[in-house]
Structure 1
Amino acid sequence: MKYNLIIIFALALAGCKQSFLDVTPQTYQSSNTFYNTKDQFIQAVNAAYSPLQAIYSGTNVGPGGQLWALAEMRSDNSSYQFNTSDRSGQSLEEIDEFRENNSNSYLSAFFNGSYSGISRCNIILERLAASSAVDAATSSQVSGEASFLRAFYYFNLIRVFGSVPAVYSEVTSTDNSFATASPVASSAIYPKIIEDAVAAISKLPESYTAATDKGRVTKATARTLLAEVYMTQKNWNGALEQLNAIVASGKYQLNANYADNFDVTKENGPESIFEIQYIVGSNSEYSNFIYTFAPWNSGTKVAYLGVAAAGWNIPTQDMLEAYEEGDTRLAASIGRDFTDPTTNTLVPYIKKYQSTHAVRYQTGNNFPVYRYSDVLLMLAESLNETGATASAFTSLNQVRSRAGLAAKTPAQLSSQTAFRQAVAQERRVELAFENHRWFDLLRYGTATEVMTLHAVREKALKTYMVGIAYQAIPLVFPYPLREQLLAP
């Protein structure tokens, strides 16, 4: 399923292009007459996916925020290549070094993009509940997709900001938007995330038969989200129920070759549980993050977007050293064949999303969100946390075996703590550059410790860092200034 953007015009009433507080006039299509047919509701739910394209790629139509900056560069996995010729990318440098403020444009873009998606889900769910023109099967599927997406947007929002506005109905007036503008604690939002995820599980299909539906969320997608939510809350038994159901379904398996997960010709494969869809070519639905992740002065040797638009999400030395000897994921994930002609030093770059494409800057690379290997590692972690460590080795070692590594044994991991650390290490290298690391550190409760140690090494390696870099390690990002000013 590639996202049809036509319906965006019909959703303009609560589209939140500048802020979720803004109410945009209806244009092109009346919202009172649009939500009347099966095809219209399918178009509407397609549009509810579309903000994810900008959120994950940071390009194309609408606000985004470049989640890779908030979830990877924020961690010890990646940083940036210092750009001596163009210093206009400092907002991203600030995120990497924990010195951003509430005016940072990437934070407001992520906020706006997320609430754009939420507002579309709210409209769909309300209009669908009031419609008698849509058959039961379509109604269930569309409701399940919208419920999942709303839960997913909110889960990322509270992990980034902590407290955010709780908006669960269509915004129909300026007064209505201001009445819901005040942020509430994440503890008040988690129950609704769980409710939406549970609803999605009950309504979504196990899979789709039509090729045009590839990329839509399934029952397993919603189960994976719910399991991650439960793990964040330390509800390990709740997570196990969802993860075991995914494994028992028999719908997913590891690709024999790790690199196949990122091959543009093998997208939405047997390991894929959810990935953000893009289309190669001049269609406003392409991705170009492989250019953004290239060294800024690499020219055509790698994939050069140009000056300040490139050199981001560069693997750190800590990340390079995280791989064990013989781990096939290193060569598949990180390129190590570019030397900066000015400094004569190696500049590694993310290789796993490289692909051939006809039009420069317009790639068809999807962005993985949930893979079956992620499920196996979450299962191993949850089993360990419930005291079933002996059973957890099977899941952990499936992932290691695919990477060409020897199985871990009870003799090597003789305690719950040792196994916990092994899973964290495995998640780091298996899911590198897929927007998991920072959120994992938060969930483990080790973000401050890990990033404080990382800061010492980064400062020693990068003498150009300003003095206030890593001065504090806050666990949430600043709430966007514009939203503070608009809140009552």
Structure 2
Amino acid sequence: MKKLKYICVSLTCMFLFSCSSDFLEKNPQAQLTPDQLTTQDGVEGLLIGAYGLLNGNVNGTYGNYGAAPSQWLFGEVTSDNAHKGSNNGDQPNMNLLEQHAPTSTNDNLLNLWERCYEGIKRCNNTLKILAALQGGAGKFSDARAKEIQAEARILRGHYYFFLVRVFKNVPYISETTTAPLVPNNADIYPNIVADFQFGVDNLTAAKPLGQIGRVDKIAAQAYLGKVFLYQKKYAEALTQFNAVIAARPDIVTLPYTDNFDITKENGPEAVFSVQHAVGTDGTGGDNGNVGDILNFPYGNGLPITCCGFYQPTIDLVNAYRVDAAGLPLSTAAYRTNPYKSDFGLSAAQKASYTIDRSLAVDPRLDYTVGRRGVPFRDWGNMAGDTWIRDPSNGGPFVAYKNTIESSQISSGTGPGNTNVTGLNVNIIRLADVYLMAAECQIESGDLGGALVRINKVRQRAANLAPKSVGGSAAAAYNVGQYPAFASADAAREAVRRERRLELAMEGHRFYDLVRWGIAKQVLESYFAFEGGFFNYLQGITFEPRDEYFPLPQDQIDRSQGVLVQNDGYK
């Protein structure tokens, strides 16, 4: 299902607060009224509009970074996986997020808030107009009406989940809310659960209207399980995850690379995906992956050359190193004499640099990270500094998963914007579900069941084709199977490492660290290590407030004091 442009009437205020009564009594000029939209076509159009915000964009192609569905900024740059990249002076508010020193006026926070609440507004409008239509003539069949309700509520649950992970304390607005000002002092997780549960109860595994981009019961089950997991309701979460796993092929049979191939989108591993469209929809790229527009290598002559952001950390790259059995090295071990590519070498040393083929790593490294001397899709071998805007600021590596093949650029990028691609973003994919299920099994005492699922993800990784240079493997690739776990703690360590290796640069890492309760210890250790290479990370401490981010000051001001700022922020 391609994204379509619809005119959507606003039944709530743009920023949720402070509408005057005289405004509400007037029909807005050059906009459709609720009466005009109370038709089947009107409701279907409103629902498409609710889907439309999944890519974090209202219009245009720039400035949507905080609301990117990949969550590269809040989920990865704030963690130990990624640097902001580019140079120090570019997008300085992102520097503050990476260093966990944001203020309430950070534009990326406002971007996420506004886009998610715009999506919520569109969901609520859909539900409200649907209810009005069903009460009169020309209504939908009961079956389609339930489907529409379920679709809108799943989308609403998604937007609220994105908000609550970043801000924690947010106001809950539904289609029945009448109060002009809503406080942010209530736990909204029960509301999110209710929305996803409605989707589970009222959808089937078949896509509504047969359109591939719509949400279905499988997506609702996976998302409901994820929300239960965040609440540490492991038994309830596992029930949902087991249902998703049973409905899909064995993960071992599904190619890892299909998840990042524009020609293989919406395959059996895709559970909840944001659909991106470019070139043929007449929007000039607005419906493409605009949130990742900055996140490509930077250099002359490259297929896509903008803008040098989103660079994998030295710590992440070394996390892929393995021992003789193909199992991940401990953090202490991989930080001893770390691999740094050509980082820190003199000009003469860089000129004579060759890859270390003896480097023992998980092959997922070279399908997650671009490193010097190793083939990067069909672009050629990654050339090092000439692909990087400022290596002294972002390091020697570039992001891989969000890029596309050079041969796909003519059909897979926006007109005049080759860095706006049509590559979908997976919010939840099957490997993620396997590993979340394994977490639940560990916490329920089923270490054997968790072992099976973790090892299946690793077995699939072992099937990856080795990257080759000059007819020989670019590294000593190896992925081994875990033996039986000696304890629950050992199993937890294994699944947490596996989530990092499998899902790196896909927007999960920071949120995982917070929900595991280990963000402080992991990030302070990381800052001490990575700060040895980048002085802007030196001396950073992670405070309790840093598990969440400040509410946008603009929204607090508009709320007339109803919204309360998160503890620790001004």
Which residue, 414, 421, 428 being the options, matches 2:500?
A: 428
Which residue, 383, 402, 410 being the options, matches 1:353?
A: 402
Q: Does 1:240 align with 2:238?
A: yes
| Structure 1 residues 291-349: Cα deviation after superposition (integer angstroms, max 9, x where no partner) | 51224x423336212xxxx2322100111011144422111111112422597776211
The corresponding residue for 1:363 is 421
The corresponding residue for 1:339 is 384
SS in 1 for 2:409: coil
Q: Distance in 1 between matches of 2:208 and 2:154?
A: 20
RMSD over aligned Cα, in angstroms? 2.7
The Cα of 1:210 is off from its aligned counterpart by 6.2
- Structure with bigger helix share is 1
SS in 2 for 1:301: coil
Amino acid at match of 2:197: V
The 1:11/1:469 distance shift into structure 2, 3 A limit, reads farther
Contact 1:63–1:113, Cα closer than 8 Å, also in 2: no
| Structure 1 residues 166-189: Cα deviation after superposition (integer angstroms, max 9, x where no partner) | 1113677xxx43x22x2124xx21
Aligned length: 466
The Cα of 1:65 is off from its aligned counterpart by 3.2
The Cα of 1:5 is off from its aligned counterpart by 2.0
Which residue, 452, 461, 465 being the options, matches 1:394?
A: 452
Q: Does 1:292 align with 2:289?
A: no
| Structure 1 residues 138-184: Cα deviation after superposition (integer angstroms, max 9, x where no partner) | 21111111111111111121111110111113677xxx43x22x212
Contact 1:154–1:193, Cα closer than 8 Å, also in 2: yes
Contact 1:51–1:64, Cα closer than 8 Å, also in 2: no
Contact 1:56–1:68, Cα closer than 8 Å, also in 2: no
SS in 2 for 1:134: coil
Q: Does 1:319 align with 2:368?
A: no
Which residue, 137, 142, 146 being the options, matches 2:143?
A: 137
Contact 1:56–1:64, Cα closer than 8 Å, also in 2: no
Q: Distance in 2 between matches of 1:320 and 1:302?
A: 24
Contact 1:389–1:416, Cα closer than 8 Å, also in 2: yes
Amino acid at match of 1:149: L
Q: Distance in 1 between matches of 2:29 and 2:252?
A: 46
Q: Normalization by structure 2: what TM-score?
A: 0.76
Rg (Cα) greater in structure = 2
SS in 2 for 1:461: coil
Q: Does 1:42 align with 2:44?
A: yes
Q: Distance in 2 between matches of 1:430 and 1:452?
A: 23
**Residues 164-243 of structure 1 correspond to what in structure 2 (within 5 A)?**
164-169=170-175, 176-177=179-180, 179-180=181-182, 182-185=183-186, 188-208=187-207, 213-243=211-241
Amino acid at match of 1:257: P
Amino acid at match of 1:349: V
The corresponding residue for 1:20 is 16
The Cα of 1:109 is off from its aligned counterpart by 0.8
The corresponding residue for 2:160 is 154
- For structure 2, list consecutive stretches of 5 or more residues without a partner in the other structure: 323-359, 372-381, 463-478, 563-570
The Cα of 1:127 is off from its aligned counterpart by 2.3
Contact 1:94–1:100, Cα closer than 8 Å, also in 2: yes
Amino acid at match of 2:384: T
The corresponding residue for 2:84 is 80
The corresponding residue for 1:4 is 4
Contact 2:207–2:215, Cα closer than 8 Å, also in 1: no
- For structure 1, list consecutive stretches of 5 or more residues without a partner in the other structure: none
The 1:154/1:351 distance shift into structure 2, 3 A limit, reads same
The 1:252/1:482 distance shift into structure 2, 3 A limit, reads farther
Q: Does 1:406 align with 2:484?
A: no
Q: Normalization by structure 1: what TM-score?
A: 0.88
